[in-house]
Structure 1
Amino acid sequence: MLVVIDMQGRLLAHLDGGERLADRVGTLLRAASLLDVPVVVTEQNPDGLGGTADGLAAHARSARTIQKHTFDATLEPTFVEALPPAPATLWVAGAEAHVCVLLTVLGLLRLGYRVEWVADAVASRRAADRDVALERARQDGAKLTTVETAIFGWLGSYRHPRFREALALVK
């Protein structure tokens, strides 16, 4: 399952590398749709920050969207109910790396999930905050990965019937 944290337009504009983040998360969402990987999207305080950015929302149509008011999404019962049973592997991306993404990753690890943190698909307002969050998550047991590694992992083989379509997403 792909977990996309708080990719809201009002937030993205303030992030270091927000445009690139939207591009990388968009690629993950397109690949997840293509390869039938289930997706959960969170929105932090949507009344204040708005919904998922328009360009991303189009790729997340089949995703389950969870509105949250906690920084750690695992404190929202509807979020936990949307997840497969632990110890499933969850790929996590989104914003902000050092707040909602990190706290959710730590919560997922506490619940027994295997977490693949998609390192090139997270951002914070300051690059240093992102870097510290990635290191903290790694120290606590999350595995760091990239968008391309996640997609090729979902494919499993070049013999996958959708290989060429997925390859086109990363070229």
Structure 2
Amino acid sequence: MRLNAQQSVLLIIDVQGRLSPAIDGGTAVIDHTAWLIGVARQLGVPVMATEQYPQGLGATEPKIADLLLPGELLEKSHFSAVAEGNLFSHVNGNRRQWVVCGTESHVCVQQTVLDLLAAGRQVAVVEEAVGSRKASDKALALKRMRQHGADIVSREMVAFEWLNKANTPQFKAVLKEFIR
């Protein structure tokens, strides 16, 4: 699968305040997720985010929440964002590609990815923008998601595939602001 900005959605799973400090490399996950949101905004890729039981795990990290628009944040109680039954209705159009980031890799991210794949979607998981409390859980989750058909990608792979070509105003804007 090659990512296409006109067919993609960026899905951010449960990057929440009380959980983030416990995530191995949690600050980096937040930074990479914010970066992906910025690139998505430049290229017109819809963004969706979820919160798992915010009463217990806290609200979305402010660095992420500040980048979200009204209607882009869904509260959920199931581990899988797909299991809530309303994820697809919040995205305009019939976008087939889902770029996924967030926490925890081996719980909510993995269950969402497996359900997206079962629903016939193409899924790319951004390796440096997912995390778990234990690095071993993240590694196992990435391996399992790959075995079930998800592509494991880097954030720059996503950006350059969404851009598709150089020497465009969008390329120049993304290069200037995000590619260092």
Smaller-chain TM-score bracket: over 0.9
Q: TM-score, normalised by structure 1?
A: 0.94
CA, structure 1 residues 155+18, in 2 after alignment: closer, same or farther (shift >3 Å)? same
Residue 16 of structure 2 corresponds to which residue in structure 1?
Answer: 8
Residue 179 of structure 2 corresponds to which residue in structure 1?
Answer: 170
Q: Distance in 2 between matches of 1:57 and 1:160?
A: 30
Measure how far apart 1:162 and its partner are: 1.9
Match of 2:157 among 149, 156, 162: 149
Q: Which of 95-104 and 159-168 deviates more?
A: 159-168
- Paired residues, number: 170
Q: Distance in 2 between matches of 1:156 and 1:24?
A: 21
Measure how far apart 1:57 and its partner are: 1.3
Match of 2:139 among 131, 136, 146: 131
Deviations, residues 11-45 of structure 1 (Å, cap 9, x unaligned)? 11110000111110010011111111101101000
> Any unmatched runs of 5+ in structure 2?
1-8
- For the 8 Å contact 1:38–1:63, the answer to whether it is kept is no
Residue 85 of structure 1 corresponds to which residue in structure 2?
Answer: 94
Deviations, residues 43-77 of structure 1 (Å, cap 9, x unaligned)? 00012222211011122226611100000111111
Q: Secondary structure at the match of 1:117?
A: strand
Measure how far apart 1:164 and its partner are: 2.3
Q: Which of 133-142 and 58-67 deviates more?
A: 58-67
Match of 2:123 among 108, 111, 115: 115
The aligned amino acid for 1:157 is K
Correspondence list, 1:93-112, <5 A: 93-112=101-120
Q: Distance in 2 between matches of 1:153 and 1:5?
A: 22
- For the 8 Å contact 1:39–1:63, the answer to whether it is kept is no
Q: Distance in 1 between matches of 2:21 and 2:37?
A: 20
Measure how far apart 1:131 and its partner are: 0.3
> Any unmatched runs of 5+ in structure 1?
none
Identity of aligned residues (%): 38
Which structure has the highest helix share of the two? 1
Match of 1:21 among 16, 29, 32: 29
Q: Secondary structure at the match of 1:166?
A: helix
The alignment yields a C-alpha RMSD, in angstroms, of 1.4
Residue 6 of structure 2 corresponds to which residue in structure 1?
Answer: none
Q: Distance in 2 between matches of 1:106 and 1:23?
A: 25
